Amino acid sequence: MDQKKLETYFHSLDRSFFVENNMKEYAGTDEPLPIGFGQTISQPSLVLEMTRLLEPEHDSKVLEIGTGSGFQTAILAKMSAIVYTVERIDALSEKARNRLEALGFSNICYKIGDGSIGWQEFAPYDRIMVTAAAGVLPDELVNQLAIGGRMVIPVGPPSFQELKLVMKTDNGEINIKTVELVRFVELKGRYGWGK
């Protein structure tokens, strides 16, 4: 991964562009902020850390679960070849799409639905980023990860979760490392915390 490109783009990205007017004055803080519908834009330092863990390459095909505001999507799209992003709340997906198109991204495909089961049609993915807390590690996401691929996903109860780095080795084995404790909103759907 091109670390310098990641840092340069991350620091150039105006987070206030990704939040509603009433939150713009707080966009410079290193805190999660509400984006409506009970959802949040993540803490910027965690977005950067999770992107470093994911290690997207310029030719990577990336699946993102939880489009939210589109802030993380922009970073993934800048760092990789193509991003497939899934969001369950249509109004959030639509707003994120408008923002990302206004920024000039043409390498992002959007889907509204339950991302806990991935996006089978375009699998396998070199990288999978999940930005909501899964109840368990979703089998479908593991199956949709390419050989040599990496997935970053918070797994655990709504109060706090373990951030997991899941790697599929060249012979198809699954290695899982626990990185740290984090707190994300709930992933809904089949592998989440209800509908």
Q: Of all residues in the chain, what percent are helix, strand and coil, respectively (each to 5)? A: 35, 30, 35
Minimum distance of ligand SAM from residue 77's CB (angstroms): 12
Is residue 19 within the footprint of ligand SAM (CB under 6 A)?
no
Minimum distance of ligand SAM from residue 171's CB (angstroms): 30
Minimum distance of ligand SAM from residue 4's CB (angstroms): 22
121 vs 173, beta carbon nearer ligand SAM:
121
Is residue 39 within the footprint of ligand SAM (CB under 6 A)?
yes
Question: How many other β-carbons are positioned within 10 Å of the β-carbon of residue 2?
Answer: 13
Q: What is the DSSP string of 145-157?
A: EEEEEEEEEEES-
Type of residue at 136: V
Residue at token pair 């930005």: 131
Residues 60-79 that bind ligand SAM (CB under 6 A): 65-66, 68-69, 71-72
Is residue 88 within the footprint of ligand SAM (CB under 6 A)?
yes
> Of the listed pieces 83-91, 98-106, 147-155, 169-177, which binds ligand SAM according to CB under 6 A?
83-91
- The one among 6, 76, 89, 163 contacting ligand SAM by CB under 6 A: 89
Structure tokens at 37: 């519908």
Edge-to-edge strand order for the sheet containing 61-65?
108-112, 82-87, 61-65, 125-130, 145-155, 161-168, 174-182
3-state SS class at 193: coil
Phi, psi of 111, deg, nearest 5: -140, 140
Q: Has 159 been annotated as catalytic?
A: no
- The one among 51, 60, 80, 131 contacting ligand SAM by CB under 6 A: 131
By annotation, the residues acting in catalysis are 42
Binding site for ligand SAM (CB under 6 A): 39-42, 65-66, 68-69, 71-72, 86-89, 92, 114-116, 131-132, 184-185, 187-189, 192
